[in-house]
Amino acid sequence: MSKKNKIETVCVQGGYRPGNGEPRQVPIIQSTTFKYNTSEDMGKLFDLEASGYFYTRLQNPTNDYVAAKICELEGGSAAMLTSSGQAANFFAVFNVANCGDHVVASSTIYGGTYNLFAVTMKKMGIDFTFVDPDCAPEELDKAFKPNTKAVFGETIANPALTVLDIEKFASAAHKHGVPLIIDNTFATPVNCRPIEWGADIVTHSTTKYMDGHGSAVGGAIVDSGKFNWLEHADKFPGLCTPDDSYHGITYAEKFGLEGAFITKATAQLMRDFGSIQAPQNAYLLNNGLESLHVRMQRHCENALAVAEYLENSDKIDWVVYPGLKSDKYYETAQKYMPNGTCGVVSFGVKGGRKAAEKFMSGLRIAAIETHVADARTCCLHPASSTHRQMNDDELRAAGVSPDLVRLSCGLESKYDLIDDIAQALEQI
């Protein structure tokens, strides 16, 4: 498909291009394995001498069609699907940072990612420094160490809704010769394309807006193909020296800047950790992607209407939504996401934690769920659920106060959503 196609067209038709007489829908290749005539044919695949499929743990055509669409949406050079957003972020970081290395991350990231970094990857010998995303460039600079291998942040943080100054983070990362990895789950490429602002790697929990219907857990990694690994070869031996576990291949030389990162993540990490997305789930994800551009617009419209209503309600202490003019991140959001941000609004109900819980149980349209970015409106109290492993200081650093309610506005009528909120607030 021509590079000139608009994002709406890529959402609908990107990735899979059927030939004459081939299925119009993305075919689900429900097969673990693929047949070859000679051992030599198969050997070439194992040596990465020829491209093709041999075992679905590494690659599957359905997944590749859908990964190619996400790659086009983000403007990247290569992409892969993973079984979840957690797997995507783990692979993206572990592909460049190993035992003895260090990573700089924004402190307001998603609770699950924070836990992955601060607890589980720390056990693997990888050290993380968490920085205030709003810190001055000089302060950000100080977080780097000689063994720093990557910088990580979220376009719009879940659930803190801080908007990352991507250019500030990109220039700090590049000054220190390391890539910037951006989790773009909340904005989606419809509203923001981090690669255009200097990000090197983009990750997604496709479970959220990309799927958008609460159907399938999944993740994706997109490489910009722009980071020059060979210029910083001493920092990235995994990409720039021969891989003994893969026939002595040097990824950055054999696959170039465009292919090295995703080929290594597939050949090493997917091979060894096996976090593949089921082809059936990739098919469901693709159905979601076909309407992503239409849905994002409505999610944002509903969220803005709800945020404006909450802002004017005397039963609400505070509202955070980067699309609100009064929001701390309004200007930053306008710069990076002029067409809209996301459908998630955070707020504090007067009366604190207890009032928040009472409010939530009074809602009739919005359901209490550990989920966001769904067609159906849902809400959550992070301090008692997703973030319950954090103490109060860690909660504050993550931008989550004990009274915070996260409301994910779905695709229903904004008038019904506001009526529902109004009647639930009356019940407190």
Ligand X SMILES: *Cc1c(COP(=O)(O)O)cnc(C)c1O
Interface with ligand X (CB under 6 A): 84-86, 89, 110, 112-113, 154, 158, 183, 185-186, 205, 207-208, 217, 219
Tokens of 241: 């020296």
CA 136, 138, 144, 145 torsion-angle sign: negative
How near is the Cβ of 112 to ligand X at its closest, in Å? 5
Instruction: Tally Cβ neighbours within 10 Å of residue 365.
Output: 17
Please list, in sequence order, all residues whose beta carbon lies within 8 angstroms of the beta carbon of residue 354, skipping any fewer than 6 positions away. Answer: none
Query: Nearer to ligand X by C-beta: 207 or 401?
Result: 207
Query: Nearer to ligand X by C-beta: 207 or 266?
Result: 207
347: enclosing H helix or E strand: strand 344-349
How near is the Cβ of 48 to ligand X at its closest, in Å? 28
How near is the Cβ of 73 to ligand X at its closest, in Å? 17
How near is the Cβ of 373 to ligand X at its closest, in Å? 7
DSSP, collapsed to helix, strand or coil, labels residue 91 as helix
Indicate the DSSP class of residue 276.
Answer: P
Query: Nearer to ligand X by C-beta: 263 or 332?
Result: 332
Q: Are 376 and 367 in contact (CB under 8 A)?
A: yes
Which residue number has the CB closest to ligand X?
A: 85
Q: 118-122 long-range CB contacts below 8 Å, 24 or more apart?
A: 121/90, 121/93, 121/94
Query: Nearer to ligand X by C-beta: 173 or 344?
Result: 344
Tokens of 417: 């959503």
How near is the Cβ of 398 to ligand X at its closest, in Å? 12
Query: Nearer to ligand X by C-beta: 16 or 110?
Result: 110
Query: Nearer to ligand X by C-beta: 84 or 401?
Result: 84
Tokens of 173: 């990362």
Q: Is the peptide bond before 159 cis (omega within 30 degrees of 0)?
A: yes
- Spatial distance between the Cα atoms of 150 and 128, rounded to a whole number of angstroms: 10
